[in-house]
Structure 1
Amino acid sequence: MFIMQPQLAEANARALLDLNLEPVEFVGLVEDSGQLQRFDEAYRRALRVATLEPVAAELWALYEQGKRDRARGLQEIDRNIELLLEGLRARSLATARLLEAGEYAVPQLLDALLQPRRPELRGLVTPILAQMGRAAVVPLSEAMLALDPASQEQVIRVLGVLPHRESIPYLYEVAQTTASDQVRRAARDAITQIDGAFDPALPVGSLYRQLGERYWSDRNTRSIVSFPGERHQLLWNYFPGIGLEPTAIYSELYHQAMTMRQAERAMRFDGGDREALSLWLTANFSREMVQPTGYDNPAYSVDRREAMYYAVASGSDPVQRGLARALRERETAIAREFIAAIRQTAGGEALQGIQGNQGVLARALSYADRRVQYDAALAIAQAMPREPFAGAERVVPVLAGLIRDAGVRYAVVIATSPERQQFLRSVLERDGYTVLAPAARLSGAADAISTVPGIDLFVLDVGRGETDQTILEIQRSNRLATSAILALLSGAEVPAAQTRYADDHLVRITSTGATDAQVSASARQLFERAIGTPMTDAEARSYAEQALVALRSIAIGRGVLRVEDAAVPLVAALQETSGETRMRVAEVLSFIGTRRAQSALMDAALAAGGAERIALFNATAESARRFGNLIEPRQVQRLKEIAMTGGRAEATAAAALMGSLNLPNEELVPLIV
């Protein structure tokens, strides 16, 4: 059966939405009309009509939200708990509604479980809590810690039949801290039921840290949340005299909050647990990045300091551990924050980052993202290491590359159709990417990729069969492993692919039918999630300036880093830069004692004019005073001509350079006679 008048059906649906009813009100409207079955059938038929599908989905979402909101209401939960004492039919209906309310019903179910004056309820709510599964574990565990021994024993018995390990640290805490033998035995029995055995030697702090690790590792898949796909999740606290209290938090911040909560508990049991501190710092950086501007985070009050404050105060080891984790998990933005913390505590902190913890800071030089390489190279240069270390040869070339490539974003389009190649390339170029020559396969782009420092974004439009294989090839490449990947698939293939890559923050799936604006938005959102906001021109200039300062310090110092390793990129930068940046490049080149470097300075001076020529003559003179005459005869001849015919300041600078070159007397005679 099909809808015969789709335009009228759409108008009616819009009229319902325009009433702006609350979700619960809309549910009442549908159910009170006696047309619930008809509403359900109309929704299913509308899904088969392209023009009706969006509005039908809106109405159905409103209805489903209304049912959830109604089931979660305090009065509705109380009413359903009372219905448990009625006949079998009422009890069955009430049980279904309480299970639909899920985690929201736990506080009142807990009250009923612990109500001494109504023991008949205890046997009725216990199986409901058991059926709730994971949804009941966290609130009951939080409550258990603050209850009296008799009540703790009741809750422990319920947790023992819930086969979810989130309760294990809480049960171990009770087992190791309670003064009640009965509670201790109950906790041990519950642990044995859940985990197979009780180990009295297990430290409670490490168990809480492990639970924090589990929440952290679930941040992308979100498999241990109670309300997948919803705007909010619940945090739980138990207050004596008040009871179990839920607090709503944005879903995108839930895992960070739970990770930090468990890490804090771990540190309360073991103040020296550096892994727990490192985990807390990592989650806090993530929280700060994800949290919307202006959001009042219930798990992180506004009077707490910014994440960087705690990182720089934590000392070298936890920060290095955090950096190692970020590199391992390909969390580029977090890695950069940890390197920034190392730089703020420069010197010993950075040196330990190079050599300690298996040289995590040096390993960052080989990370696939260029901004992490840049940050690591600057941190190492700032520390001025005096002892050799693995990867030292990469520092100076990375710094030199900063001068030319800091703000450049490279992208590659892999698409089977030339038309799609050009379409996607034009979208990316409008967004400011430098797009390499498109190819039909990754192997076809290999040569182009080898010519640039790294790839920030891949856009794939190669069909399902090739998409998974291409993503795998990219992520197995040491140079490309942290590149963001936007894959376009047909609409029917998108949901399954989104599920496959749900836990990979470097991959985003969108439809091949996306418009240029939608492709652009998807690429922007992916880039910001995977790497961070694009570098501004001001940031690129700042990076270049920092690199030049670092290279100058390396040249002046007597450390293990060699400024000579920057000769080739600096010569190229001398030709491509201008103004103050060019003068700084020239200054650094004056510390490199090679014929190529000094000749490049001289060529630049001869090609320039005015004040710039004089400044470049002076830089060449500095090089000559340090390393002697390394310029070519043709350059000497041109220099003599300028010294004889140039303006006063220019001729004087040329003459001074001739003196620094220590030319033979016969070369100087024309200036005098």
Structure 2
Amino acid sequence: MTRPPRLAPSISLLRTKWTSKLALGIALAMPGTLLLNNSTTMAQAPVTEAATAANRELRNAVENYWHYGKVARYDLAATEGQKILASPATPLELLQTFEAVAAERKDNLDEWLLRWHGIEPMKDVTKQIIDKLAEGYRARRADPKFILEQISRLSSGERGYGNAMTRLRESGELAVPFLIDVLRDPAKKNQLPVIRRALRDLGRAGLNPLVAATQMQEWDTLTVIIGVLGDLGYQSAAPFVARVYESDQSPATVKAAAADALARLGVSPGAGRGASDLFYDLAERLYYDTSDIKGDDRFPTANVWYWTQAGLTRKQVPPQIFNEIMAMRACEYTLELGGSRSDDALSLWLASNYKREAELPEGATDPTRGEAQPDAHYYGVSAGGTYLNNALARAVRDRNAAVAFKVTRSLQQIVGQSNLLAGAGSGPLIQAMQFPDRKVRFEAAMTLAAALPQQNFEGSQRVVPLLAEAMAQTGQTYVVIVHPSQEQANRLVDELKKLQGINAVGATTAEGAVAIANTLPAVDVIVVAEDLGPGNVDQLFLMASDNARLAGAARLVMTKTTASIYEPRKVSDQLLSTTTATDASALQPAIQQARAKAGGLPIDPAVATEYATRAGQLLTKIGVSRSSVYDLMPAKQTLLAALSDPRHEIVKLAGQVLAYLDDADAQAGLLLAATADNLPDDVRISLYNSLAQSARLWNNKLDAGAIETLAKVVATAENLQVRSAAAEARGALNLPADQAKTLIVQQSQK
């Protein structure tokens, strides 16, 4: 579940939306750790003379801050505010002091703080005070003593009930374990009606722990909980209630309560879809963040609840992965119950686990997983290709680059000639080769290449071009500019090239754009001016869709206004974005945003070199195997260009692959690269070895001038190892022995 970091809302927004102390506490809640079952949170330390003096100083500072603020001595108020912030008091003590001072003056705490936050001399210090008070609100909401105090007030009449519920709603789902504990206490059976009412009035905030509590076998309490879930009416509760209804251990009274609740949830008990299917449906909704079961976004962590003999317990997890964890649990329930969706549940569980890993924030941990528990890859390869292919198909359909990348890497470890085309076969991998993100495209092509299939399959022609594209990676973002004005196209290309990390080419027509795109190692974004005309723009996009190199590229339309015809189209087209930018500096962020929207993951130079190396190794493997499925010839131009790559290991790999091309240009390119200036000797030797291998496979394809150049190296190269490698190449060409005779005569000692 992708969620941006939680930030405190602007004070102007607070001024227009909230005016109560409760609202201020909720709205300004800042990230922190919630504690449950910690009865010491509000425990008071022994009162010492020093503590009494500190409390008195804090009270005086708050009173002075309040007084000076109200009489418009803002500078003095700011000074007192600094004293408040320097106080050793806890946020909760600070909140209690401010509440007491405001109450004595019959002032509204929130209104005055918001007012002072808008006054420049007091702005900064008041903002810090508000943040401290927010911490106090949060500590009070999570405190067991506070929650129990509110529960005790529920039976004190309607007014007391209303005030207590206001506070319990502050605590949200954290109040549910304590409310259930009251239901479980035989001595408090008289409170059952009011507790049930409170659980219902908590609304969706209580749903997460309530469904976890359905695993209890305390039948009287469970009957109440099931009734509350029926009252609430959330469809996401249905599988939990259905599981109780279907259980052989449930007494008749509990089954009757479950049947009634299911009816109110729109499920016919005992007919049609059972708990297993309902849990799978819930897992689908959780995976796509559409379930009623959600984490409380007022808090920095989300809670995953478990039922134990002691009652409800929780594990606090990063909110970004809450839905993935819950989807995995729902899938596990489906697998436990069996049924027709078990295979689907296994595939969804794998996808959820990969997604959980992908969305776990850097540096964060998932406490629901043990330290020695294997990663998603382990479970993926254990499940096998059929289930991994299903997970990959989902990721491709969702355009989830991170999940598709991880699943494809796992497939690489288990796919081979025997199982490549089995079951779902190579279908998802073929689709992944057209994915918007080039890392996913590369991984899919590498998986298919490594398998070395013995029979042709649909899409096999894409593998080698993608490997060649991967071999040419340098870590830059590659852009094609399309503008009807050659001058404007050239201007944008020149400006973009001056920016770090971008390489661009330009064209004035759709046909020209497709042609010039072939000069780039890859294409990440096609930037087209709306001035090209709707028909020509559509033609460009159609041609791009039919082109293996361009099909996954993001499409960014430069529009004149936000009323362009492309604005509504981009809502449903993930590849399409728009911008009103007209110069390179403004276009650069739009290019990166378009790439991200299309599902593109960045490639830095180190990763680019890794891909180039792996691609070269796989192309060599294809050449060695003399594959009848993969043709290396489409990689020829990229390989020849790679001979001048500044990365010497890539030059060596390019030479090794070229040796397996039955082509005169390949032999000529190898010799030309080997004799280039300023080349390390080990690279020269490798290139001559590749030339020798090419000659052994395809005989001599060099012209007379090239042969003469080679002969000169054989005769005069300073490094003997270089001279020997060149001699091997000449010998493999099976040329006339004249030069060899001359060499022998020249070395003879008279």
Whether these two folds match at TM > 0.5 is yes
Counterparts of 1:237-636 in structure 2 under 5 Å? 237-240=306-309, 242-270=310-338, 273-291=342-360, 295=364, 297-347=366-416, 351-352=420-421, 356-357=424-425, 359-405=427-473, 407-410=475-478, 429=499, 433-436=501-504, 452=520, 454=522, 479=550, 534-535=603-604, 537=606, 539-559=607-627, 560-577=629-646, 579-607=648-676, 612-613=683-684, 615-636=686-707
Deviations 1:79-107 (A, max 9, x none): 22222222332222122222232211112
**CA 121–653 in structure 1, closer or farther in 2 if over 3 Å, else same:** closer
Higher mean C-alpha displacement, 256-265 vs 17-26: 17-26
Aligned residues with identical type, % of pairs: 27
**CA 32–335 in structure 1, closer or farther in 2 if over 3 Å, else same:** same
Secondary structure at the aligned position of 1:184 is classed as helix
Higher mean C-alpha displacement, 203-212 vs 645-654: 645-654
User: What residue in structure 1 maps to residue 161 of structure 2?
Assistant: 91
User: What residue in structure 2 maps to residue 217 of structure 1?
Assistant: 288
Of 71, 79, 96 in structure 2, the residue corresponding to residue 28 of structure 1 is 96
User: What residue in structure 2 maps to residue 490 of structure 1?
Assistant: none
Verify the 8 A CA contact 1:406 1:543 in the aligned structure 2.
no
Verify the 8 A CA contact 1:278 1:319 in the aligned structure 2.
yes
Of 244, 258, 271 in structure 2, the residue corresponding to residue 174 of structure 1 is 244
Verify the 8 A CA contact 2:476 2:605 in the aligned structure 1.
no
CA distance in 2: counterparts of 1:298 and 1:654, whole angstroms:
61
Verify the 8 A CA contact 2:230 2:260 in the aligned structure 1.
yes
Secondary structure at the aligned position of 1:236 is classed as strand
**CA 454–125 in structure 1, closer or farther in 2 if over 3 Å, else same:** farther
User: What residue in structure 1 maps to residue 278 of structure 2?
Assistant: 207
**CA 347–81 in structure 1, closer or farther in 2 if over 3 Å, else same:** same
Residue type at the aligned position of 2:161: R
Verify the 8 A CA contact 1:316 1:352 in the aligned structure 2.
no
Deviations 1:453-483 (A, max 9, x none): 55668999x9xxxxxx9xxx99x98958686
Secondary structure at the aligned position of 1:33 is classed as helix
CA distance in 2: counterparts of 1:341 and 1:323, whole angstroms:
10
CA distance in 2: counterparts of 1:413 and 1:107, whole angstroms:
60
Displacement after TM superposition at 1:589 (Å): 0.7
**CA 552–446 in structure 1, closer or farther in 2 if over 3 Å, else same:** closer
**CA 252–13 in structure 1, closer or farther in 2 if over 3 Å, else same:** farther
CA distance in 2: counterparts of 1:91 and 1:292, whole angstroms:
40
Verify the 8 A CA contact 1:133 1:164 in the aligned structure 2.
no
Residue type at the aligned position of 1:604: A
Verify the 8 A CA contact 2:433 2:440 in the aligned structure 1.
yes
Matched, 1:121 2:191: yes
Residue type at the aligned position of 2:459: G
Verify the 8 A CA contact 1:350 1:380 in the aligned structure 2.
no
Verify the 8 A CA contact 2:222 2:254 in the aligned structure 1.
yes
CA distance in 1: counterparts of 2:87 and 2:596, whole angstroms:
39
Displacement after TM superposition at 1:591 (Å): 1.0
Deviations 1:610-656 (A, max 9, x none): 66555534432332332233223432343455556666776666565
CA distance in 2: counterparts of 1:449 and 1:12, whole angstroms:
65
CA distance in 2: counterparts of 1:104 and 1:426, whole angstroms:
53
**CA 410–611 in structure 1, closer or farther in 2 if over 3 Å, else same:** closer
Secondary structure at the aligned position of 1:607 is classed as coil
Verify the 8 A CA contact 2:408 2:444 in the aligned structure 1.
yes
Verify the 8 A CA contact 1:368 1:454 in the aligned structure 2.
no
CA distance in 2: counterparts of 1:226 and 1:649, whole angstroms:
67
CA distance in 2: counterparts of 1:456 and 1:142, whole angstroms:
46
CA distance in 2: counterparts of 1:237 and 1:231, whole angstroms:
20
CA distance in 1: counterparts of 2:368 and 2:737, whole angstroms:
79
Verify the 8 A CA contact 2:554 2:598 in the aligned structure 1.
no
Displacement after TM superposition at 1:535 (Å): 3.9
Of 265, 271, 284 in structure 2, the residue corresponding to residue 194 of structure 1 is 265
CA distance in 2: counterparts of 1:614 and 1:40, whole angstroms:
78
**CA 23–123 in structure 1, closer or farther in 2 if over 3 Å, else same:** same
Secondary structure at the aligned position of 1:575 is classed as coil
Displacement after TM superposition at 1:396 (Å): 1.1
Deviations 1:548-590 (A, max 9, x none): 2211111121431122222111111112255443233212111
Higher mean C-alpha displacement, 443-452 vs 631-640: 443-452
Give 5+ residue unaligned stretches, structure 1: 463-468, 488-496
Displacement after TM superposition at 1:8 (Å): 5.0
Matched, 1:105 2:181: no
CA distance in 2: counterparts of 1:123 and 1:545, whole angstroms:
70
Displacement after TM superposition at 1:161 (Å): 0.8
Verify the 8 A CA contact 1:330 1:482 in the aligned structure 2.
no
Displacement after TM superposition at 1:376 (Å): 1.5
**CA 590–72 in structure 1, closer or farther in 2 if over 3 Å, else same:** closer
Deviations 1:49-92 (A, max 9, x none): 56765654443344344334324422222222222222332222
Secondary structure at the aligned position of 2:644 is classed as helix
Residue type at the aligned position of 1:405: Q
Verify the 8 A CA contact 2:81 2:126 in the aligned structure 1.
yes
Higher mean C-alpha displacement, 189-198 vs 155-164: 189-198
CA distance in 2: counterparts of 1:320 and 1:357, whole angstroms:
8
Verify the 8 A CA contact 1:323 1:335 in the aligned structure 2.
yes
Displacement after TM superposition at 1:388 (Å): 0.9
CA distance in 2: counterparts of 1:622 and 1:65, whole angstroms:
72
Displacement after TM superposition at 1:281 (Å): 2.2
Displacement after TM superposition at 1:167 (Å): 0.8
Deviations 1:304-339 (A, max 9, x none): 122222222221112111212222222222222111
**CA 622–326 in structure 1, closer or farther in 2 if over 3 Å, else same:** same
Verify the 8 A CA contact 2:664 2:701 in the aligned structure 1.
yes
CA distance in 2: counterparts of 1:223 and 1:505, whole angstroms:
26
CA distance in 2: counterparts of 1:448 and 1:48, whole angstroms:
56
Deviations 1:369-408 (A, max 9, x none): 1111221222111111111112211111211222221533
CA RMSD of aligned residues (A): 5.1
Residue type at the aligned position of 2:345: A
CA distance in 1: counterparts of 2:157 and 2:511, whole angstroms:
70
CA distance in 2: counterparts of 1:407 and 1:161, whole angstroms:
56
CA distance in 1: counterparts of 2:270 and 2:112, whole angstroms:
58
Residue type at the aligned position of 1:388: N
CA distance in 1: counterparts of 2:735 and 2:515, whole angstroms:
46
Verify the 8 A CA contact 1:595 1:630 in the aligned structure 2.
yes
Verify the 8 A CA contact 2:417 2:453 in the aligned structure 1.
no
Displacement after TM superposition at 1:144 (Å): 2.1
**CA 303–626 in structure 1, closer or farther in 2 if over 3 Å, else same:** closer
Residue type at the aligned position of 1:160: G
User: What residue in structure 1 maps to residue 214 of structure 2?
Assistant: 144
Secondary structure at the aligned position of 2:232 is classed as coil
Secondary structure at the aligned position of 1:244 is classed as strand
Query: Normalising by the residue count of structure 2, what TM-score does the alignment of the two structures yield?
Result: 0.72
